């Protein structure tokens, strides 16, 4: 599994000529690191003003971020596995009409799975960016740069996942599914951008 490798080996895997791991796994990784940094800031003993309210808010945020981080880490390998299934489906035989039909159906199933995972990464990243607002508002000022990096990574992970959603939608024939996913993608992107902007404004002292 990718997540069980050393950092050096994982980076080498991304740099290799193999198609996996690719951008989808990299997007999940970026967001997982972003959520981890936010969890760190939320778990620091010091808060912005030292109030009990801030400590309670950050404690709840840290719990939420821990679960989001766990799911994002799982998505690193899940995205690679989904893409491998797409490749396998395209390699199915086409010697007979039945084989051609089976291959077409397998490709559609694989592309749908390969779309659902990055859409999930978008959703998890957007939720983490919502938590970033609380971290920015209540977190210790000395860790503002850490929270800022976390927001940047989550934005990158979400945008990268969106690229993967878009490219997979282009190969899908289920118009109802495509329309629904496009709507979800747009809502997640818009909401995440607003959360990121609010968090960054708070981190700048706005």
Bridge partner residues of 203 (DSSP)? none
Q: What pLDDT is stored for residue 199 in this prediction?
A: 97
Question: What is the CATH topology of the domain spanning 21-203?
Answer: 1.20.120
Asked if pLDDT for residue 33 goes beyond 90, the answer is: yes
Mean pLDDT calculated for residue range 109-123: 98
* pLDDT over threshold 90, residue 52: yes
pLDDT value for 143: 96
Examine the pLDDT at 206 and tell me if it is beyond 80.
no
Q: Which pLDDT does position 11 carry in this prediction?
A: 96
Mean pLDDT across the chain: 96
Q: Are 64 and 129 in contact (CB under 8 A)?
A: no
Contact 76, 3 (CB under 8 A): yes
- Provide mean pLDDT across the span 72-90: 97
69-79, pLDDT tens digit by residue?
Answer: 999 999 999 99
When mean pLDDT is compared across 46-50, 120-124, 177-181, the lowest value belongs to: 46-50
Mean pLDDT (whole number) for 79-105: 96
**Whole-model pTM?**
0.95
pLDDT tens digits for range 153-192:
999 999 999 999 999 999 999 999 999 999 999 999 999 9
Give phi and psi for 174, each to the nearest 5: -80, 100
* 194: pLDDT strictly greater than 70: yes
Angle at 107 between CA 95 and CA 20, to 5 degrees: 110
pLDDT of amino acid 205 = 83
**Bridge-partner residues for 139, per DSSP?**
47
Three-state secondary structure along the chain? CHHHCCHHHHHHHHHCCCCCCCHHHHHHHHHHHHHHHHHHHHHCCCECCCCHHHHHHHHHHHHHHHHHHHHHHHHHHHHHHHHHHHHHHHCCCCCCHHHHHHHHHHHHHHHHHHHHHHHHHHHHHHHHHHHHHHHHHHECHHHHHHHHHHHHHHHHHHHHHHHHHHHHHCCCCCHHHHHHHHHHHHHHHHHHHHHHHHHHHHHCCC
How big is the chain by its Cα radius of gyration, in Å? 19
Beta bridge mates, 47: 139
What's the average model confidence in pLDDT over 102-115? Answer: 97
Nearest 5°: the CA angle 80, 117, 130 is: 125
For residues 117-135, average pLDDT: 98
Q: Give the confidence band of 13 by pLDDT, cuts at 50, 70, 90.
A: very high
Q: Is there a contact between 160 and 27 (Cβ–Cβ < 8 Å)?
A: yes
């Amino acid at each position: 599994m990718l997540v069980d490798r050393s950092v050096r080996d994982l980076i080498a895997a991304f740099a290799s000529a193999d198609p996996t791991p690719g951008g989808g796994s990299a997007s999940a990784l970026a967001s997982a690191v972003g959520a981890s940094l936010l969890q760190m800031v939320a778990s620091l003993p010091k808060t912005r003003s030292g109030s009990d309210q801030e400590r309670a808010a950050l404690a709840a945020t840290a719990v939420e971020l821990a679960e989001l981080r766990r799911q994002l880490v799982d998505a690193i390998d899940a995205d690679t596995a989904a893409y491998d299934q797409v490749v396998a489906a395209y390699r199915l035989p086409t010697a007979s009409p039945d084989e051609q039909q089976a291959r077409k159906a397998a490709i559609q199933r694989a592309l749908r799975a390969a779309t659902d995972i990055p859409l999930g990464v978008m959703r998890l990243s957007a939720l983490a960016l919502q938590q970033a607002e609380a971290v920015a508002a209540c977190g210790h000022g000395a860790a503002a740069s850490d929270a800022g990096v976390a927001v940047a990574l989550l934005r990158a992970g979400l945008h990268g996942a969106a690229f993967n959603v878009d490219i997979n939608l282009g190969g899908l024939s289920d118009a109802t599914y495509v329309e629904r996913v496009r709507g979800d993608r747009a809502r997640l992107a818009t909401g995440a951008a607003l959360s990121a902007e609010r968090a960054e404004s708070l981190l700048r002292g706005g």
